Amino acid sequence: MVRVGVHVSIAGSIAKAVERAQGIGCDTFQIFSRNPRGWAAKPLAAADADAFRAALAASGIAPVVDHMPYLPNLASSKDEPYERSVLALGDELVRAEALGIPFVVTHLGHHLGAGSDAGEARVIAALDLVMTSAPPGVTLLVENTAGEKNSVGSSFASIARILEGCACPGRIGVCLDTCHAFGAGYDLRSRDGVEETLAAFDDTIGLELLRALHCNDSKGALGSGLDRHEHVGLGAIGEEGFRLLLHRPEFADLPFICETPEDGRRDGAGNIAKVRELAA
């Protein structure tokens, strides 16, 4: 029985996200705890956090995933945005703890031309700064990127180097985005491709560190470097690729989060239904 959900809006109040997730049949879901397109964030009111926790407990949905906003860049070579990014990540982990959310997903960012080695070093330093004082009940999940220019973490080897370099390795896991992996050149369309991709992940990172999946098809071709999500089964990965992934025993207890479009072809509930159909 696959555990599947979507990214849910917190418009109106953060507790309403739970009601929305229930309304479309989520077993799990993801949120932004604040405006994802700005640096400033109002402090999370205790009453709002309590209401979210209560609604979540009553729903039986678990686990919930909190996603970092878009602006932070943990690989930045520029000091001012880098420092703001570190502070934003630390704050997000505290917010997740207040909400009773066990996972925070973060993109690793772009090195802005400084080179992959420099970008990875900046990410390692940022994670060390944050995780040494992070709430103990929250695990940080680093997300693979799609291979776009100057990105950090597109290859499994890059993520492995970052995790190996961190001082708090037990506090950090991985969220595997299928669209990003495909864009970075990992073939997920066939049995052989899935086998090779997961073997590469296990050899470099270790499947035991995989804690969540972003279940997104790709509008871009294999190795295109494009981060453009498509409805599950309607993109370049296709239904067979997702069927194979959904039947992997290693993923049986992991949350699958769809970050897919909402348009005339399908909505969030439709993607949840498609995932369950392929898993069955």
The pLDDT of residue 148: 94
What mean pLDDT is predicted for residues 206-223?
98
Active site includes 67?
Answer: yes
The pLDDT of residue 103: 98
Of the listed 3, 107, 211, 266, which one is catalytic?
A: 107
**Position of tokens 């330093």?**
125
Of the listed 7, 111, 229, 266, which one is catalytic?
A: 229
Q: What are the contacts of 40-47 at 24+ separation with CB within 8 A?
A: 41/91, 41/95, 44/14, 44/95, 44/98, 44/99, 46/98
Give me the domain span that covers residue 232: 3-279
Query: Tens of pLDDT along 172-200?
Result: 999 999 999 999 999 999 999 999 999 99
Q: CB-based contacts of 120: which residues, under 8 Å, 6+ apart?
A: 75, 152, 158, 161, 162, 165
Of the listed 239, 259, 267, 277, which one is catalytic?
A: 259
Q: List alpha helices for 103-151, DSSP H.
A: 116-131
Of the listed 180, 211, 231, 266, which one is catalytic?
A: 180
**How many structural domains comprise the chain?**
1
CA angle 43, 45, 51 (to 5 degrees): 140
Q: How confident is the model at residue 1 (pLDDT cuts 50, 70, 90)?
A: confident
What mean pLDDT is predicted for residues 256-262?
97
**208 pLDDT above the threshold of 80:** yes
Whats the size of the chain, residue-wise?
Answer: 280
Q: CB-based contacts of 241: which residues, under 8 Å, 6+ apart?
A: 178, 188, 189, 190, 193, 194
**Contact (CB, 8 A) for 74 and 85:** yes
CATH number at residue 83: 3.20.20.150
Phi-psi region of 141 (alpha: psi -120 to 50; beta: other; left: phi over 0): beta
Active site includes 202?
Answer: no
Active site includes 48?
Answer: no
Query: Tens of pLDDT along 58-90?
Result: 999 999 999 999 999 999 999 999 999 999 999
Q: CB-based contacts of 30: which residues, under 8 Å, 6+ apart?
A: 5, 6, 7, 8, 64, 65, 66, 67, 105, 257, 259
The pLDDT of residue 170: 86
Of the listed 48, 92, 120, 143, which one is catalytic?
A: 143
Active site includes 37?
Answer: yes
57 vs 4: CA distance, rounded Å? 18
Active site includes 143?
Answer: yes
Active site includes 70?
Answer: yes
CA-nearest of 259, 230, 238 to 193 is 238
Strands 255-258 and 229-230, how do they pair?
unpaired
**Position of tokens 């066990």?**
102
Query: Tens of pLDDT along 2-13?
Result: 999 999 999 999
Q: What is the largest CA-CA distance in the chain?
A: 50
Q: Considering the chain, what percentage of its residues have pLDDT values greater than 90?
A: 96
Of the listed 227, 230, 231, 266, which one is catalytic?
A: 227
CA-nearest of 64, 68, 108 to 212 is 64
Of the listed 27, 48, 97, 177, which one is catalytic?
A: 177
120 vs 174: CA distance, rounded Å? 15
Count how many Cα atoms sit within 13 Å of the Cα of residue 260 in the half-sphere of its side chain.
32
Q: How confident is the model at residue 168 (pLDDT cuts 50, 70, 90)?
A: confident
Active site includes 259?
Answer: yes
- The two tokens of residue 132 are 């040494």
**Contact (CB, 8 A) for 232 and 215:** yes
Active site includes 229?
Answer: yes
The pLDDT of residue 60: 96
**Contact (CB, 8 A) for 224 and 183:** yes
**51 pLDDT above the threshold of 80:** yes
**Contact (CB, 8 A) for 128 and 172:** no
Look at residue 79 and give its three-state secondary structure: helix
Query: Tens of pLDDT along 101-117?
Result: 999 999 999 999 999 99
